[in-house]
Amino acid sequence: MKLRIFYVSISVSIFLIFWETFYYFFIRDPFLLAPPSKVIPTFVKLITLQDPSFKMPVDIVFSLYHYALGFSSALIIGISLGLLMGFSRTLENLLSPIVELIRPIPPIAWIPISILLLKLTHTAAGFIIFIGSFFPILLNTRHGVASVEKKFVEVALTLGASRFEILRKVIIPASMPSIFTGIRVGSGVAWMCVVAAELFGVSAYGLGYQIEIARLYHAPEIVISYMVCIGLVGYALDNVYKFLASRFLRWRRGLVVE
């Protein structure tokens, strides 16, 4: 743990020194970029509500609300549909063409449709986030089910297990590593889509929305502060799912390289 903190400290320090040096040697224009010596105090001021024009903690809450709207839907539908598609060849054949047709469409391309159908609402933001995170969850879940070794299913059948019992006691537990991979990838995409969705003003608050407002103010130090906040919250979310995966997948310890 101490060694990891040491490496993180060294890495961040080198990055900040390079950033500061690059600014003063090549940019030197406060309207184009802000150095860390200006961004760090600005971030502290924003997160502690010392700036009357911006309320970063409130923006975090609104962005997490949008994230929860879209990602929770993607979790429920993506995992359920992935399990069914991996378990049923008929359903796989029926749905795969539709999935593969829609999947390459970038989430940002759905923004005009979501605004037309749902207007500038929280639901519209949730829809964009859902689109972005749904497919990684679906595909990883389906891959996990399809990768379950047949011998496990055959043993369960030999012991008299029903199809539902095979799904609940064999397929789902064996698929959990892939499911959690899909959750972590989907969560990262969902958090990126939060910013894209909020840029269009679905509410008066949100990390993405405030980035656009700060750009209009020609305040790169505020823009970068919000970018740093987005990165920190995304990092925290990923660590939550990493912790949950370590709890649910304790049986893998000693069996795989981690």
With respect to residue 87, please indicate whether it lies within any of the assigned structural domains. yes
State the residue range of the domain holding 15.
Answer: 1-33
DSSP notation for 84-147: HHHH-HHHHHHHHHHHHHHTTS-GGGGHHHHHHHH-SSHHHHHHHHHHHHHHHHHHHHHHHHHT
Is there a single domain that holds both residue 23 and residue 65? no
Is there a single domain that holds both residue 101 and residue 129? yes
With respect to residue 257, please indicate whether it lies within any of the assigned structural domains. no
Of 16, 12, 67, residue with least CA distance to 197: 67
Is there a single domain that holds both residue 156 and residue 187? yes
Predicted model pTM = 0.88
Is there a single domain that holds both residue 29 and residue 48? no
Is there a single domain that holds both residue 13 and residue 66? no
Is there a single domain that holds both residue 99 and residue 183? yes
Is there a single domain that holds both residue 29 and residue 40? no
> Rounded to whole angstroms, how far apart are CA atoms 11 and 25?
21
Amino acid in position 185:
V
> Rounded to whole angstroms, how far apart are CA atoms 124 and 135?
18
Entry field: residues in the chain = 258
Count of CB atoms within 10 A of residue 187's CB?
22
CATH code at position 94: 1.10.3720.10
Is there a single domain that holds both residue 46 and residue 1? no
pLDDT in single tens digits along all 258 residues of the chain? 677 888 888 998 999 999 999 988 888 888 888 999 999 999 999 999 998 889 999 999 999 999 999 999 999 999 999 988 887 888 888 989 999 999 999 988 898 888 888 888 889 999 999 999 999 999 999 998 888 877 877 788 787 777 778 877 888 888 888 999 999 999 999 999 998 888 877 778 899 899 989 988 889 999 999 999 999 999 999 999 999 988 887 766 655 555
Q: For residue 11, give the 3-state DSSP assignment.
A: helix
Angle between helices 207-216 and 220-248 (to 10 degrees): 160
With respect to residue 52, please indicate whether it lies within any of the assigned structural domains. yes
Is there a single domain that holds both residue 124 and residue 244? yes
With respect to residue 11, please indicate whether it lies within any of the assigned structural domains. yes
With respect to residue 258, please indicate whether it lies within any of the assigned structural domains. no
Q: How many domains does the chain have?
A: 2
With respect to residue 94, please indicate whether it lies within any of the assigned structural domains. yes
